[in-house]
Amino acid sequence: MPVIAYTTFLDTVRAFDTSDLQFYIAAAFTLFSVFLFIGGFMQKHSMTMFSALVLLGVSLYEAFYFLSEKSNPIFALFMLTAASMLLFLSIGNKR
């Protein structure tokens, strides 16, 4: 997830335009992607599940933001991200 956040939102975060909603979405996606990665190595799965819940919401928002009549790879990326967040919500950190 941090790699997806880096490749997708790097320009938005670098611009650091605090008056734009996309900046806050990009910052939240990046921050909670890192939390999801860190939470995957912890014994308790509360950080993983909370991060997955936030990332699910952000991914669905971004997917429908980029929804159009023609095929869009960004839409597919965020829908796949949302699907993987549903997986993390359902199983947590089970090993």
The pTM for the full model equals 0.85
Residue 19 amino acid letter: S
Domain count, the chain: 1
Range of the domain at 17: 2-91
- Write out pLDDT tens, residues 44-64: 889 999 999 999 999 999 898
- Count of CB atoms within 10 A of residue 77's CB? 17
Distance CA 38, CA 61 (A): 24
- Write out pLDDT tens, residues 12-34: 888 888 888 888 998 999 999 99
